[in-house]
Amino acid sequence: MEAVKKARARMRTFPAILNDCRLEGRIYAKCVTKFDDVRKDNCLNEFNEFMKCVHTSSKNRKVKF
Protein backbone atom coordinates (compact mmCIF):
# COMPACT_ATOMS: atom_id res chain seq x y z
CA MET A 1 0.00 0.00 0.00
CA GLU A 2 2.99 2.31 0.41
CA ALA A 3 3.45 2.40 -3.36
CA VAL A 4 -0.16 3.49 -3.78
CA LYS A 5 0.30 6.30 -1.26
CA LYS A 6 3.41 7.52 -3.07
CA ALA A 7 1.66 7.38 -6.44
CA ARG A 8 -1.31 9.34 -5.11
CA ALA A 9 0.98 11.96 -3.59
CA ARG A 10 2.80 12.25 -6.92
CA MET A 11 -0.48 12.62 -8.81
CA ARG A 12 -1.56 15.45 -6.49
CA THR A 13 1.45 17.50 -7.62
CA PHE A 14 0.70 17.23 -11.35
CA PRO A 15 -1.76 20.17 -11.49
CA ALA A 16 0.86 22.44 -9.92
CA ILE A 17 3.52 21.20 -12.35
CA LEU A 18 1.22 21.81 -15.31
CA ASN A 19 0.41 25.25 -13.93
CA ASP A 20 4.14 26.03 -13.85
CA CYS A 21 4.32 25.16 -17.55
CA ARG A 22 1.11 26.81 -18.72
CA LEU A 23 2.89 29.09 -21.19
CA GLU A 24 4.75 26.23 -22.87
CA GLY A 25 1.57 24.16 -22.84
CA ARG A 26 -0.37 26.97 -24.48
CA ILE A 27 2.26 27.32 -27.22
CA TYR A 28 2.17 23.57 -27.86
CA ALA A 29 -1.64 23.53 -27.94
CA LYS A 30 -1.74 26.41 -30.42
CA CYS A 31 0.66 24.54 -32.67
CA VAL A 32 -1.41 21.35 -32.57
CA THR A 33 -4.68 23.17 -33.28
CA LYS A 34 -3.20 24.81 -36.40
CA PHE A 35 -3.33 21.48 -38.23
CA ASP A 36 -6.45 19.79 -39.56
CA ASP A 37 -4.55 16.52 -39.86
CA VAL A 38 -1.98 16.35 -37.06
CA ARG A 39 0.94 14.10 -37.83
CA LYS A 40 3.84 12.88 -35.78
CA ASP A 41 6.53 15.51 -35.24
CA ASN A 42 4.40 18.42 -36.55
CA CYS A 43 4.97 20.28 -33.29
CA LEU A 44 8.05 18.47 -32.04
CA ASN A 45 9.94 21.59 -30.95
CA GLU A 46 6.97 22.92 -28.98
CA PHE A 47 6.39 19.52 -27.39
CA ASN A 48 10.05 19.21 -26.39
CA GLU A 49 9.98 22.66 -24.77
CA PHE A 50 6.81 21.73 -22.88
CA MET A 51 8.31 18.45 -21.66
CA LYS A 52 11.54 20.18 -20.68
CA CYS A 53 9.51 22.56 -18.53
CA VAL A 54 7.55 19.70 -16.97
CA HIS A 55 10.73 17.82 -16.11
CA THR A 56 12.35 20.94 -14.66
CA SER A 57 9.29 21.75 -12.59
CA SER A 58 9.01 18.21 -11.26
CA LYS A 59 12.71 18.22 -10.40
CA ASN A 60 12.32 21.54 -8.54
CA ARG A 61 9.38 20.09 -6.62
CA LYS A 62 11.37 16.91 -5.92
CA VAL A 63 8.75 14.74 -7.62
CA LYS A 64 9.56 11.78 -9.82
CA PHE A 65 8.00 12.17 -13.26
pLDDT at 6: 87
Asked if residue 6 is part of any domain, the answer here is: yes
User: How many domains are contained in the chain?
Assistant: 1
- Report angle CA 25, 45, 13 to the nearest 5 degrees: 35
51 lies in which domain range? 2-60
Q: Does a structural domain hold residue 38? A: yes
Q: Compute and round to an integer the Cα radius of gyration of the chain.
A: 14
Does a structural domain hold residue 13? Answer: yes
DSSP result, the chain: -HHHHHHHHHHHHHHHHHHHTHHHHHHHHHHHHT-SS--TTTTHHHHHHHHHHHHHHHHHTT---
CA dihedral in degrees (49, 54, 57, 63; nearest 10)?
Answer: -150
Q: Look at 25 and 1; give whichever has higher pLDDT.
A: 25
pLDDT, tens only, 23-61: 999 999 999 999 999 899 999 999 999 999 999 999 999
